[in-house]
Amino acid sequence: MVEVPLYACLIKMFHSMVFKRIYLSFTRKVFIQYYWQKYLVWWSLGACLHGYIYYLIEPPVYAEVTGRRGDNVTLPCLLRNKPKHYKVKWTKLDPESMGVQNVVMMLSAQGYKPYGHLGKRASPRNAHAMDVSLELSHLTLEDGGRYRCELIDGIEDENVVITLSIEGLVFPYQSKHGRYRFTFHEAKQACAENDAILATFDQLYRAWTEGLDWCNAGWVHDGTVHYPIIQPRAACGEGLLPGIRSYGPKDKKRDHFDAFCFTSLQAELACAEKGAKLADVGQLYSAWHFHQYDRCDGGWLRDGSVRFPISNPRRRCGGVSEAGVRSFGFPDRNAHLYGAYCYR
């Protein structure tokens, strides 16, 4: 909850309730208006004494909104009371780069103005007079995060925060040249080349709760390095409880690790060109995760690796009891004969 100083809340209350014109006459309509006004004054006083924000509805209608890549979503923000003069600022909270580039939109009773690359896909919902919700179209993997709806009325600002989660999955990725070959920026590039982005720590943690067990440490979005362990074993968390092992922040230019990538199924899967192309690693993981794609045959992917997805584990198909995407690494194209996984 966002607390408002008592003096500011009282100023707002009396400005909005007491100094409005109340036409007194002896009609039933006026008595209804009088008692409604009286109710609002007492409610507002109680809200002030308990530290509640006054103009915005808090908590928001939905504290977390979930969507897939390519979807359209609405981040809800509603006014409880409308000040005479106000502005609403929508900002994406990025812990790595605070600044004007994070402002998505400014809106008021007179209209709205979008900002930055997100603003090009943003618009106000305007479902009713008290609605200042933000609509985002054609979600990308980078859109996930925390968004702040901030009311600016010249006395005391109020804000609520909504989290946008992109539905997807995390997969570990290493260089075809072997383990621990990526700097931070090379890890970002490797994920991008496989239809993904570097996962956040929260996404990695969720993947661990869903069964991800991986003994190689990898970069995540904030420049820290971790690896998720469900079954501690020799040289891999032996003697410790299951969890996320952390190396903390590392030098982004000098240190080398693998990568944990995050991808999401697009709302509409279609190729720009007719036909098909070799699938990216992220696309194969998406087919396995979202469509339970199950194939026992290894196939080439665009990055030069050979993998196969297993949704129904069986003895002669991977030899492991858990579902997942198995890898044969990066074999010599001229010395090994495999099929191919295509995407269209």
Query: Is the predicted pLDDT of residue 29 greater than 90, yes or no?
Result: no
pLDDT of residue 101: 59
- 188-217: pLDDT as tens digits: 999 999 989 999 999 999 999 988 999 999
Report the mean per-residue pLDDT for the chain. 80
- 107-158: pLDDT as tens digits: 988 899 999 889 999 999 988 888 999 999 999 999 999 999 998 877 667 8
CA angle 185, 302, 323 (to 5 degrees): 90
| Cα–Cα distance for residue pair 327/172, rounded to 1 Å | 11
Answer whether 169-264 and 266-344 agree in fold. Answer: yes
Query: Is the predicted pLDDT of residue 261 greater than 90, yes or no?
Result: yes
What is the residue extent of each domain of the chain?
Answer: 6-49, 64-166, 169-264, 266-344
CATH 2.60.34.10 corresponds to the domain 64-166: no
Q: Which CATH architecture describes the domain 169-264?
A: Roll (3.10)
Query: Is the predicted pLDDT of residue 185 greater than 50, yes or no?
Result: yes
| Cα–Cα distance for residue pair 21/336, rounded to 1 Å | 84
Q: In the sheet that 324-327 helps form, which strands lie side by side, from edge to edge?
A: 324-327, 306-310, 299-300, 339-340
* Region 266-344: CATH code: 3.10.100.10
Q: What is the DSSP string of 108-139?
A: ETTEEEE-HHHHTTEEE--SSTTB--EEE-S-
When pLDDT is cut at 50, 70 and 90, the band that residue 47 belongs to is very low
